[in-house]
C-alpha cells in the first residue's frame, strides 16, 4: 500500500495571505535543517494531527496563533488525498475535517468548511488502507485490549521518531510510553507485520460464531440427556408398578433390565385390558426384596467409594513427594550445568587463565562433578517416568470415584422411588382408577422418551457437523502456524536491524538481535554463550540512536516486501544527531570528527533508500547542514531554516507582521 506525504499545508488565519506548503520527495530521504525554535519538530505533530490524533501536540504559541487549519496531501496509488483539520483553539482539539480526493490535488487558497468528523476520517483511512473491521478476541472472554479492531492509528507507532524518542533507552516506538498504547501495540503487532491477515481475523470471527452455536447445541444435548436419564428412571419405576399391579409378568430383575425390553414391556402395558388384570401373588414381598437388595448395594458401593478416596489421597501425597525430589534434582543439575561447558572450553593441561597456576587435580575434580551431574540426570529421568505413572493412576482413580458416585446416586434414586411407589400401592389398594391413571402416565412418558431420544440423534449429527467445521477452521488459524509465521517475520526483521546496526558500528551489533513484540517492545541481545542483554542496558546515546533508526528501517524494509502492507511507508526522524551534540548553532561550523558521525547517519539512510528502491519515504528534521549528506544523491534538502534565509521558519515572515 502506497501512502506517502507529498506536502504539508498551513492555511493562515489572515485569509489575505497565501497558504504555506512544504513539499517532499516521496521516494527520497528529505531533510529539513535549521536552528531551534524554527518549527521543525512541529512537523511530526502536524502530520499526526491531520491523521486523526486524539490530542493536538502542535506547540501553542506562534504556530497555532497564526494558522487557521493544518493539512497534508497524501500520495495513494493512482490518486492524491488532501486531509485538513481545523486549528483546535482553546479547546485543545478539533473534530472538524476537510477531505478532498483527486488524481492531482490543487491546494485550496482557503479552507472554511469542514464537512467530515474525526470518526468519518478514521473510518475512511482504515478502509483505504485495508484494515479489518473485526476485533482480535478469539473467544467470548473479553480482555481489555484484546477487543481492539486494528487501525491505522496503531500503525502510526511505526512512523514517527520524535526528538524525545529517537535516542531513548527505554522506549522504542511512538506513543508506547503510554500503557494503553503499549498494550494495544502488543496485541496488534502481529497484524501489522502481516502475520495475522484480514482473512484470519474474519475466520476467527466466524469461528467464534461456530463455537457459540456448538456450545448451544451441547447444552441442549446435555439437557436432553439429563431429561432422558430421568425418563429412563421413570420407566423403570413404572415397570415395578406394573409388576405390582399384575399388568407385567415379572420375568427379569430390575438391575438386569435391557432398555429395549423395558420399552417393549411398557408399550404392551399401555394397550393392556385392565379387566384382565389380577394382583400377582407375592408382589409386596418382591418389592421388599428389591428394597433390601438396593440397600445392600448402596452400602457396598459406599465402602468401595471410601476405599477409592483413601487410595487417591495416598497417590496425591506420593505425587507431591515425587515433585519435590524432581525439583531438588533439577536445581542441583542446574548448578552443575557449566561442567560440560568447562570441559569443552578449558584445556586442563594448561595453566589457569585467571591466576596462571597449574595443578594435577583439576581433571579429577571435573570427573567427580561430571559423575554427580550424571546421577542427578538419572534421578530427573526416573522422577519424570514416575510422574507419568502416578498421573495415569490418579486419573484412573478420579474416573472410578466419579463412576462410583454416579452409581450410588442412581441406587439412592431407585430406593426413593421404590419406597414411594410401595406406599402408593398400599394406599391405592389396587383400584381400577389408579390403574387407569398409571396407564396414562406410562403412555405419556413413553411418548416423551421417544421425542427426546430422536432429538438426541439430530443433535449428535449437528454437533459432529459443527465440530468438523471448527476443526478445519482451527487448522487455518492455528496458533502453531501463526507462531511459525511470526518467527519468520521477526527473524527477517532482526537480520535487517543487524545490517544497519553494523553500519552504525553500534555496540552489541555482532550479537544475535531480537525484536521483542510480546513484552518489552524493544530489542534484546544474546551473546555467543546465550547471555541476554536488554536494550535499556546498552549504554551510550550513539547506541540508542543507532538502534532506534536501525529498528524502524529494518521493520519498514521487511514490510514493503509484503503483498498487503498496512503500515504507511514513511518515517519521520527528529534530530538523530542529538546523540552526539544536542544543538548546532551554525550548521557550517561542525568539527571534522563530529561531521564523520553525522555522515554515518545519512550514509545509513541513503543505503536504506537504495535497499528499498525508494519505496519508503524518509523525512529527517535536523540541526545538521548539507555537509553531512551532500555526497548522497538520494538525500535532498527540503528546507534550511536559519537566520539570513528568505524562508527561515515554518511560519513565514509575512505571517508575523
pLDDT at residue 91, as a whole number: 77
pLDDT at residue 117, as a whole number: 95
pLDDT per residue over 35-44, tens digit each? Answer: 888 999 999 9
Average pLDDT over residues 230-251: 72
Mean pLDDT (the chain, rounded):
84
pLDDT per residue over 497-544, tens digit each? Answer: 999 999 999 999 999 999 999 999 999 999 988 889 999 999 888 999
Q: At what angle do helices 479-504 and 592-611 cross, to 10 degrees?
A: 140
pLDDT at residue 367, as a whole number: 76
Q: How far apart are CA 120 and CA 343, in angstroms?
A: 67
pLDDT per residue over 337-351, tens digit each? Answer: 676 666 666 666 666
pLDDT at 438 over 80: no
Buried b (16+ CB within 10 A) or exposed e, 415-449: bebbeebbeebeebeeeeebbeebbeebeebbeeb
Task: Name the residue with higher pLDDT: 383 or 69.
Answer: 69
pLDDT at 100 over 60: yes
Determine whether 605 is exposed, middle or buried from the number of CB atoms within 10 Å of its CB (0-12, 13-18, 19+).
buried
Whether the CB-CB separation of 543 and 507 falls below 8 Å is answered with: yes
For the chain, what are the domain ranges?
A: 219-475
Res. 635 pLDDT band, cuts 50 70 90: very high
pLDDT at residue 158, as a whole number: 97
Task: Name the residue with higher pLDDT: 192 or 356.
Answer: 192
Q: How far apart are CA 514 and CA 535, in angstroms?
A: 10
pLDDT at 34 over 60: yes
Closest by CA to 438, choosing from 423, 450, 418, 424, is 424
Q: pTM of the predicted model, to two decimals?
A: 0.67
Res. 143 pLDDT band, cuts 50 70 90: very low
In degrees and rounded to multiples of 5, residue 59 shows phi and psi of -55, 135
Establish how many alpha carbons lie within 13 A of residue 558's alpha carbon, considering only the half-sphere containing its beta carbon: 24
> CA quadruple 489, 493, 494, 499: dihedral positive or negative?
positive
pLDDT per residue over 398-436, tens digit each? Answer: 888 888 888 888 888 777 776 665 655 554 445 556 666
pLDDT per residue over 467-507, tens digit each? Answer: 888 888 888 777 788 888 999 999 999 999 999 999 999 99
Q: How far apart are CA 310 and CA 595, in angstroms?
A: 81
Q: How far apart are CA 163 and CA 559, in angstroms?
A: 24
In degrees and rounded to multiples of 5, residue 532 shows phi and psi of -100, 140
Q: How far apart are CA 303 and CA 437, in angstroms?
A: 40
pLDDT per residue over 292-317, tens digit each? Answer: 787 888 888 888 888 888 888 898 88
pLDDT at residue 144, as a whole number: 46
| Rg value, the chain, Cα | 40
Res. 649 pLDDT band, cuts 50 70 90: very high
- The grid cell for 56 is 493536538
* CB proximity list for 571: less than 8 A, separation 6 or greater: 158, 159, 160, 161, 552, 553, 556, 616, 617, 618, 619
Res. 152 pLDDT band, cuts 50 70 90: very high
Closest by CA to 121, choosing from 146, 147, 86, 148, is 86
Strands 160-161 and 570-574: parallel
* CA 579-582-587 angle, 5° bins: 105
Res. 354 pLDDT band, cuts 50 70 90: low
- The grid cell for 47 is 502530520
Whether the CB-CB separation of 497 and 512 falls below 8 Å is answered with: no
Res. 138 pLDDT band, cuts 50 70 90: very low
Closest by CA to 133, choosing from 142, 141, 124, is 124
Give the DSSP H/E element, type plus range, for residue 445.
helix 432-476
pLDDT at 324 over 50: yes
pLDDT at residue 524, as a whole number: 95
What 3-state DSSP class applies to 137?
coil
Amino acid at each position: 500500500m502506497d501512502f506517502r506525504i507529498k506536502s504539508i499545508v498551513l492555511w493562515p488565519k489572515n485569509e489575505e495571505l497565501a497558504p504555506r506548503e512544504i513539499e517532499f520527495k516521496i521516494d527520497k530521504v528529505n531533510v529539513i535543517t535549521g536552528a531551534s525554535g524554527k518549527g521543525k519538530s512541529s512537523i511530526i505533530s502536524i502530520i499526526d494531527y491531520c491523521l486523526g490524533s486524539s490530542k493536538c501536540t502542535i506547540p501553542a504559541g506562534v504556530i497555532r496563533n497564526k494558522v487557521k487549519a493544518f493539512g497534508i496531501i497524501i500520495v495513494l496509488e493512482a490518486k492524491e488525498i488532501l486531509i485538513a483539520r481545523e486549528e483546535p483553539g482553546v479547546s485543545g482539539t478539533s473534530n472538524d475535517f476537510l477531505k478532498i480526493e483527486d488524481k492531482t490535488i490543487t491546494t485550496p487558497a482557503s479552507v472554511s468548511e469542514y464537512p467530515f468528523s474525526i470518526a468519518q476520517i478514521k473510518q475512511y483511512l482504515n478502509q483505504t488502507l485495508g484494515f479489518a473491521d473485526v476485533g482480535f478476541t478469539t473467544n467470548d472472554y473479553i480482555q481489555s485490549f484484546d477487543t481492539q479492531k486494528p487501525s491505522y492509528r496503531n500503525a502510526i507507532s511505526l512512523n514517527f521518531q520524535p526528538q524525545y524518542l529517537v535516542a531513548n533507552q527505554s522506549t522504542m516506538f511512538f506513543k508506547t510510553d503510554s500503557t494503553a498504547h503499549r498494550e494495544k501495540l502488543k496485541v496488534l503487532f502481529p497484524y501489522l507485520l502481516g502475520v495475522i491477515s484480514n482473512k484470519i481475523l474474519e475466520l476467527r470471527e466466524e469461528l467464534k460464531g461456530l463455537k457459540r452455536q456448538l456450545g448451544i447445541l451441547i447444552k441442549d444435548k446435555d439437557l436432553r440427556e439429563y431429561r432422558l436419564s430421568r425418563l429412563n428412571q421413570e420407566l423403570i419405576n413404572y415397570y415395578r408398578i406394573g409388576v405390582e399391579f399384575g399388568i407385567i409378568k415379572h420375568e427379569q430383575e430390575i438391575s438386569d433390565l435391557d432398555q429395549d425390553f423395558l420399552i417393549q414391556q411398557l408399550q404392551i402395558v399401555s394397550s393392556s385390558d385392565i379387566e384382565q388384570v389380577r394382583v400377582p401373588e407375592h408382589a409386596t414381598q418382591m418389592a421388599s426384596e428389591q428394597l433390601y437388595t438396593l440397600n445392600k448395594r448402596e452400602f457396598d458401593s459406599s465402602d468401595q467409594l471410601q476405599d477409592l478416596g483413601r487410595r487417591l489421597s495416598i497417590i496425591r501425597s506420593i505425587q507431591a513427594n515425587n515433585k519435590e525430589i524432581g525439583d531438588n534434582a533439577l536445581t542441583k543439575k542446574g548448578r552443575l550445568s557449566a561442567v560440560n561447558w568447562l570441559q569443552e572450553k578449558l584445556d586442563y593441561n594448561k595453566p589457569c587463565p585467571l591466576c596462571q597456576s597449574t595443578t594435577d587435580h583439576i581433571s579429577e575434580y571435573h570427573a567427580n562433578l561430571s559423575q554427580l551431574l550424571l546421577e542427578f540426570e538419572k534421578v530427573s529421568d526416573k522422577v519424570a517416568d514416575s510422574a507419568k505413572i502416578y498421573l495415569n493412576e490418579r486419573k484412573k482413580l478420579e474416573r472410578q470415584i466419579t463412576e462410583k458416585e454416579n452409581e450410588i446416586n442412581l441406587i439412592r434414586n431407585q430406593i426413593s422411588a421404590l419406597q414411594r411407589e410401595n406406599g402408593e400401592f398400599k394406599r391405592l389398594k389396587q383400584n381400577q382408577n389408579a390403574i387407569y391413571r398409571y396407564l396414562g402416565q406410562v403412555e405419556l412418558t413413553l411418548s416423551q422418551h421417544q421425542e427426546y431420544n430422536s432429538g438426541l440423534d439430530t443433535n449428535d449429527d449437528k454437533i459432529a457437523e459443527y465440530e468438523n467445521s471448527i476443526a478445519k477452521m482451527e487448522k487455518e488459524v492455528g496458533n502453531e502456524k501463526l507462531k511459525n509465521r511470526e518467527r519468520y517475520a521477526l527473524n527477517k526483521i532482526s537480520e535487517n536491524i543487524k545490517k544497519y546496526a553494523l553500519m552504525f558500528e553500534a555496540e552489541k551489533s555482532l550479537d544475535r538481535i531480537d525484536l521483542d513484540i510480546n513484552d518489552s517492545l524493544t530489542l534484546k541481545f544474546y551473546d555467543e554463550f546465550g547471555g541476554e542483554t536488554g536494550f535499556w542496558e546498552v549504554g551510550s546515546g550513539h547506541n540508542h540512536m543507532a538502534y532506534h533508526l536501525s529498528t524502524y528501517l529494518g521493520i519498514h524494509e521487511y514490510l514493503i516486501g509484503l503483498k498487503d502492507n498496512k503500515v504507511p511507508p514513511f518515517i519521520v526522524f527528529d534530530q538523530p544527531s542529538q546523540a552526539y551534540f544536542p544543538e548546532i548553532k551554525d550548521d557550517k561550523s561542525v568539527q571534522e570528527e563530529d561531521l564523520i558521525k553525522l555522515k554515518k547517519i545519512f550514509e545509513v539512510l541513503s543505503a536504506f533508500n537504495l535497499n528499498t528502491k525508494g519505496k519508503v519515504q524518509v523525512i529527517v528534521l535536523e540541526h545538521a547542514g548539507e555537509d553531512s549528506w551532500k555526497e548522497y544523491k538520494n538525500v535532498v534538502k527540503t528546507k534550511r531554516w536559519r537566520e539570513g534565509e528568505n524562508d527561515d521558519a515554518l511560519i513565514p515572515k509575512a505571517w508575523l507582521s
